[in-house]
Structure 1
């Protein structure tokens, strides 16, 4: 195999249904389209078929999809258990051979690719005598395209470009990790107060006391063992919580609950697949988690069914630190929940009322989900801004602004800074005595290398960038969602979590020292960041004005549904609901100077305000 790609070839990407991680396939698909190739992403039906490929009707469905779309290059992605990945890929590959789907057998397929965790990639390489190109996840855009077999003359020149800011951050991070100084970083001495660690404790109080002490940011980490056995998983998780609590590095534990916990809480699970994550199926499970985590604050995923009711249960049993909702997401169109988009919005707006009554913060877990599906930078900012306005109108008093950097991972740092600065500027304008915003940056979901030393450097790099979002504010960010550096390879256990926090906080402390000494550039006056921030700010404000003028009752479930249905926020790589949201998928997006923009048929950026205005002229 390893046949060079011809100009007229067609790519297809598939995954088993149980692996919800589709970001990598969407990213590679976008790269290939930028090179001029046609790309097809397997939908939910194909994913279901891949999961049960041994059934005759399922291999027939896959073969029909390949033949109908004239696919010559097939990518298979599975980023969960390496052994499951090897078995799943093997079944698909050998059935394709049995049904003579390859070009040397008279079929269409010239090449199959595999993407997964390093252990799975190594197993596939060895098992198939290096015939299958494998992708570990840390390849650059250029490395990815060359490994696929794309001729160099087909690769856009932008792929070869970079950013001085990113190079400078990388140099800082490499030097920092090489020094090993993070190993000597001790747990921050957090201020205690009467409600600290009790059922009356709140994020607002903890942030306030931490700021008054001029301490480094609070840390939040997503935590949860992967164990399909219900009781064993609960026991292991509670042991982890006690370990993390005693070590003193982590302030807020974010429970990595399973998909069944989110969709079928309190029901009989039977033999339904848990989907990975902590199994939580009773109020006692929640109370046990709270007890084991003292004195950390606790939060968990929102439900995907009966969402307001589950929010109340979280309030009662874990004094949830804040609630995160995705509004347009975690439903049928991304395979994360049972509801159609409109009903999901209705449930989330009802849940916002529950949040308002509780006095707890709301986190819009939204903008990066548009980015995962090819959304542009304007949509990234707009989606979170709309959510904030709606939440404030419903009486929500606090907002946790999560800003996922490195999304897509080819984004330049100056563009990341501009998006973050625009969002915090827009939301700070909403602040008053009844509405307060907490900034919470984080690294990207698929940012880290499976090479653990390289991943440590990446974590230090993105941590330094976080300090450039509000460089004049010594108490910003308020908190950080620390992504453990090992997550491209293995589950983040307490030792990895603690070291990741050490890297994050000590990198910020060192970066501040070096800025003060003039050893690294001060980004406050960076012309590129200032101009891009101004553009994003003015554009998003103009788009909101257009929406408020043209959509009756904009800040309602129906209003938000119309925003999506009209195509205001493009999602060219949406997998499900493509007919319902045909106006959102019809736009092409492309990386332009390190930012994602909507482009026309010639690849030229489309003026965003005019694009949205035109949506309402028909």
Structure 2
């Protein structure tokens, strides 16, 4: 007899766990227990949990290259069957979620699998996905109640003017006539901050890296982007193997390569950089690695990368916390600090991209604003003068306009208090999960999100291409999305007086005030973990207490900083978060009958159960 339980895991170390978390919430509504596994390539770990819990429902996902997703799913199903873990006669339901192209490919193969697998269809409407999940869990009597709960979450009230302006952005595909970006001066080519100052619009950056056997396709794609003059900075989407084994090409052999461009050596990096020396000479930066960060920075400099660019390094992530790297949180914190110091010594602008990682794991808004404060303290402590703050809108996708603006304004305000002497640059972007697989709808969403982002007066916009709910962006997609975003910027500026009136709404100011107050309380609790803590007269004096790897590791281990979507049980906080009115993500006592809790109440609960 199978238990009323849902065991879910991504395949082959895919770090994209948000969909599994969303499914587990619906399971919770129906009193189905859930076990979410951390990303891993170890099939035995998944099998052990299936043996232990004997679940009625099993969820699998893979949101990277479709061919690999098909192969990994087939491998998993054959393994379950050949090991006798699941028999054809067992009362068990297996569901798989992937990119639309993966689902299309699987439809031609699925009948040959030894076990039945349900495929999650790519729906343009988030409520349709919720209905499919409800059907998967065989929910009947509670169906309408659960659907109404989901509807309350995913359809927050927003700013109606933005809908009208998004229509204008994509009207008659006029955006395709946007002119190329100008060619920057020699000084701007060598300096990221100078390029920002020279640009008449926010500078544009984009991830780009083609999963392949070698770097060739990415080299040609960089050439195409540079000659089209559509981006100012290319962020190399590094393959998972490059992030782990760069400099050791022999370790690539026989391992799954996915997620981006598989550069192996300094020569590969040099070729990738040289491809950008044309058109508007976009700067090129790599994705952060999970080991040997400081030596890799020097290798990049020698190859030409980071010239006129900035670099992003996480604070808490890319380790055992999210399964993307082998290190403990404590050890990776020390390495991340060292990487930030090295970049600061070289005068390279630094972005610590933690807030969006917390958003991916359903952290409540106070954790997001606290993250902005902490990365400000760390960068200030490490001597960074030019700080880049990424503000990812529509993440999670249930977040509303008012909630986003209040959260980001609170984060920016706290950053100014922790690092008052630094040069601060706002970088905004669209959350990929908010984009529809219907490409025409996604164009509208990207235009609308850009207008929302412009309310934060960004100096940098990260291009998320409208195709990314379906597949990783190719040069043609980035070119088209760049034009759409630039058209949205012009529409925003033409309507800015009316838009600014919308931002005077007290919903935004009152929420911002609440988040700042809650964050200041939480920051003091973190600072008090320092053995030499003493009261201070202004927040910038907290920097030595907050910017300490051991203090931050303690805060994670004690769950003072945590989120319910963390899949490593060691670090997962025992609390509930929920999107509520206007898409604000709150800490609550109970999901179905929620009462908003303060940070003081949460910390007191933690201390009581230590």
**Is the pair's TM-score, using the shorter chain for normalization, greater than 0.5?**
yes
Pairwise CA RMSD of aligned residues? 2.7
Bigger shift: 238-247 or 147-156?
Answer: 147-156
SS of 1:72's equivalent in the other structure is strand
* Match of residue 115, structure 1, among 92, 97, 110: 97
For residue 374 of structure 1, the aligned residue among 338, 362, 381 is 362
Deviation at 1:480, TM superposition (A): 0.4
The separation in 2 between residues aligned to 1:127 and 1:170, in whole angstroms, is: 41
Are 1:371 and 1:407, in contact at CA under 8 Å, matched by a contact in 2?
Answer: yes
Structure 1 residues 36 and 169: CA distance shift in structure 2, 3 A = farther
TM-score, reference length from structure 1: 0.86
1:498, CA displacement in angstroms? 0.9
Displacement of 1:123: 3.9
1:437 pairs with 2:424: yes
For 1:93 and 1:168, how far apart are their aligned partners in 2? Answer: 48
**For residue 76 of structure 1, what is the aligned residue in structure 2?**
60
Q: Report the more deviating stretch, 449-458 or 339-348.
A: 449-458
The answer to whether the 8 A contact 2:360-2:396 is kept is: yes
Q: Which moved more, 1:264-273 or 1:489-498?
A: 264-273
The superposition leaves residues 91-130 of structure 1 with CA deviations (integer Å, 9 ceiling, x where unpaired) of 444665677877982x341x3222112122234445557x
Give the number of aligned pairs: 574
Cα distance between partner residues in 1 of 2:169 and 2:606: 49
Cα distance in structure 2, aligned partners of 1:104 and 1:354: 56
Distance 1:32 1:167 in 2: 33
Given the superposition, is the C-alpha separation of residues 263 and 126 from structure 1 closer, same or farther in structure 2, using an over 3 Å criterion?
closer
> 146, 158, 175: which one pairs with 1:182?
175
1:76-475 superposed matches below 5 A: 76-93=60-77, 96=80, 105=89, 107-109=90-92, 111-125=93-107, 133-138=118-123, 140-148=125-133, 149=135, 150=139, 151-155=142-146, 157-161=148-152, 162-165=155-158, 168-189=161-182, 192-197=184-189, 201-210=190-199, 215-227=200-212, 229-230=213-214, 234-270=215-251, 271=253, 272-294=255-277, 295-320=281-306, 321-430=309-418, 432=420, 434-469=421-456
Aligned to 1:538: 517
Between the aligned partners of 1:167 and 1:137, the Cα distance in structure 2 is 27
Structure 1 residue 268: Cα displacement? 3.4
Q: Is the 8 A contact 2:372 2:415 kept in 1?
A: no
Contact 1:18–1:275, Cα closer than 8 Å, also in 2: no
Aligned to 1:482: 463
Aligned ranges 1:37-48 → 2 under 5 Å: 37-44=32-39, 47-48=41-42
- Of the structure 1 ranges 520-529 and 356-365, higher mean CA displacement relative to structure 2 is found in 520-529
CA contact (8 A) 1:262 1:303 kept: yes
TM-aligned CA deviation for residue 502 of structure 1: 0.7
Q: Which runs of 5+ in 2 are unaligned?
A: 532-544
Q: Which moved more, 1:456-465 or 1:82-91?
A: 82-91
Residues 280/93 of structure 1: CA separation in 2 closer, same or farther (3 Å cut)? closer
Q: Which residue matches 2:548?
A: 556
Change (3 A) 1:611 1:102: same
Return the alpha-carbon distance in structure 2 between the equivalents of residues 37 and 430 of structure 1: 43
How high is the TM-score relative to the length of structure 2?
Answer: 0.87
Shift, 1:139, TM fit: 5.3
Tell me how far apart the structure 2 counterparts of residues 615 and 66 of structure 1 sit (CA, whole Å): 31
Match of 2:11, SS state, is coil
Q: Is 1:353–1:396's contact at 8 Å kept on the other side of the alignment?
A: yes
Q: Distance in 2 between matches of 1:494 and 1:82?
A: 18
Superposed CA offset, 1:55-92 (max 9, x none): xxx4xx65552353242122221222333333433444
Question: Which residue does the alignment assign to 1:65?
Answer: 49
* Structure 1: segments with no counterpart, 5+ residues: 1-5, 50-57, 470-475
Q: Distance in 2 between matches of 1:393 and 1:244?
A: 37
- For the 8 Å contact 1:70–1:108, the answer to whether it is kept is no
- In structure 2, what is the equivalent of residue 522 of structure 1? 501
Secondary structure of 1:274's counterpart equals coil
Q: Take 2:79 and 2:317, find their aligned partners in 1: how far apart are those partners?
A: 34
What is the Cα deviation at residue 490 of structure 1?
Answer: 2.4
CA contact (8 A) 1:362 1:400 kept: yes
Contact residue 188 and residue 216 of structure 1 kept, 8 A: no
Contact 2:435–2:466 (Cα < 8 Å) also in 1: yes
CA 1:34–1:300 in 2, change beyond 3 Å: closer, same or farther?
Answer: farther
Pair 394,88 (structure 1): closer, same or farther in 2 beyond 3 Å: closer
Q: Judging changes above 3 Å, is the alpha-carbon distance between structure 1 residues 121 and 313 closer, same or farther for their aligned structure 2 residues?
A: same
Moved more, 595-604 or 455-464: 595-604
Secondary structure (helix, strand or coil) at the match of 1:40 reads strand
Report the Cα offset of residue 392 of structure 1: 0.5
Q: Per the alignment, in what secondary structure is the counterpart of residue 9 of structure 1?
A: strand
Corresponding residue of 1:54:
none
Q: Note the alpha carbon deviations across 1:288-325, whole angstroms, 9 max, x for none.
A: 22222122112111221111221222233325112211
Alignment check: 8 A CA contact 1:373 1:571 kept: yes
- Contact 1:303 / 1:311 at 8 angstroms: preserved in 2? no
The 2-side partners of 1:128 and 1:264 are apart by 34
Q: Is the 8 A contact 2:529 2:554 kept in 1?
A: no
The 10-residue stretch of structure 1 (383-392 or 592-601) with the greater mean CA deviation from structure 2: 592-601
